[in-house]
Amino acid sequence: MTQEEKLEALADALDRDIGELKPEVNLDSIGWDSMAMLSVIAMAKTRFGKKIAGAQIREFTTVQDILSALE
Protein backbone atom coordinates (compact mmCIF):
# COMPACT_ATOMS: atom_id res chain seq x y z
CA MET A 1 0.00 0.00 0.00
CA THR A 2 1.32 3.43 -0.88
CA GLN A 3 1.85 6.27 1.54
CA GLU A 4 -0.93 8.19 -0.22
CA GLU A 5 -3.36 5.32 0.41
CA LYS A 6 -2.31 5.19 4.06
CA LEU A 7 -2.85 8.95 4.37
CA GLU A 8 -6.30 8.63 2.79
CA ALA A 9 -7.27 5.92 5.30
CA LEU A 10 -5.88 8.02 8.14
CA ALA A 11 -7.77 11.10 6.96
CA ASP A 12 -10.98 9.06 6.93
CA ALA A 13 -10.33 7.67 10.41
CA LEU A 14 -9.57 11.10 11.86
CA ASP A 15 -12.26 12.91 9.84
CA ARG A 16 -9.62 15.28 8.46
CA ASP A 17 -8.72 16.62 5.06
CA ILE A 18 -5.83 14.65 3.59
CA GLY A 19 -3.98 17.93 2.98
CA GLU A 20 -3.66 18.38 6.75
CA LEU A 21 -1.80 15.11 7.19
CA LYS A 22 1.81 15.51 6.19
CA PRO A 23 4.27 13.06 7.81
CA GLU A 24 5.92 15.81 9.87
CA VAL A 25 2.64 17.15 11.32
CA ASN A 26 2.43 17.01 15.11
CA LEU A 27 -0.60 14.99 16.17
CA ASP A 28 -1.54 17.45 18.92
CA SER A 29 -2.14 20.08 16.23
CA ILE A 30 -4.89 17.96 14.64
CA GLY A 31 -6.82 17.03 17.78
CA TRP A 32 -5.02 13.88 18.88
CA ASP A 33 -7.15 12.57 21.74
CA SER A 34 -8.41 9.22 23.02
CA MET A 35 -11.17 9.03 20.39
CA ALA A 36 -8.67 9.68 17.60
CA MET A 37 -6.41 6.99 19.03
CA LEU A 38 -9.26 4.47 19.09
CA SER A 39 -10.16 5.37 15.51
CA VAL A 40 -6.60 4.78 14.36
CA ILE A 41 -6.37 1.47 16.24
CA ALA A 42 -9.61 0.30 14.58
CA MET A 43 -8.55 1.54 11.13
CA ALA A 44 -5.17 -0.19 11.43
CA LYS A 45 -6.79 -3.51 12.27
CA THR A 46 -9.65 -3.44 9.75
CA ARG A 47 -7.91 -1.86 6.76
CA PHE A 48 -4.32 -3.00 7.22
CA GLY A 49 -4.50 -6.07 9.47
CA LYS A 50 -2.09 -4.36 11.88
CA LYS A 51 -2.40 -4.38 15.65
CA ILE A 52 -1.42 -1.19 17.45
CA ALA A 53 -1.38 -1.48 21.23
CA GLY A 54 -2.66 1.30 23.46
CA ALA A 55 0.76 1.77 25.02
CA GLN A 56 2.32 2.08 21.57
CA ILE A 57 -0.18 4.59 20.22
CA ARG A 58 0.21 6.86 23.24
CA GLU A 59 3.87 7.28 22.23
CA PHE A 60 3.00 8.60 18.77
CA THR A 61 3.75 12.30 18.24
CA THR A 62 3.64 12.76 14.45
CA VAL A 63 1.67 11.49 11.48
CA GLN A 64 4.83 9.63 10.44
CA ASP A 65 4.64 7.58 13.64
CA ILE A 66 1.22 6.29 12.53
CA LEU A 67 2.39 5.67 8.96
CA SER A 68 5.37 3.68 10.24
CA ALA A 69 3.10 1.52 12.40
CA LEU A 70 1.05 0.64 9.32
CA GLU A 71 4.05 -0.81 7.42
Angle between helices 34-48 and 3-14 (to 10 degrees): 140
Helix (H) and strand (E) counts in the chain? 4, 0
Arithmetic mean of pLDDT over the chain: 95
Give the pLDDT confidence of 22-47 residue by residue, as tens digits: 999 999 999 999 999 999 999 999 99
The pTM score is 0.91
Residue 43: which domain range? 3-69
Indicate which CATH number applies to the domain containing 21. 1.10.1200.10
If one counts the domains in the chain, the total is: 1
Instruction: Using the predicted structure, report yes or no on whether residue 21 has a pLDDT greater than 90.
Output: yes
pLDDT number for residue 9: 95
Distance of alpha carbon 54 from alpha carbon 38, whole angstroms? 9
pLDDT number for residue 1: 79
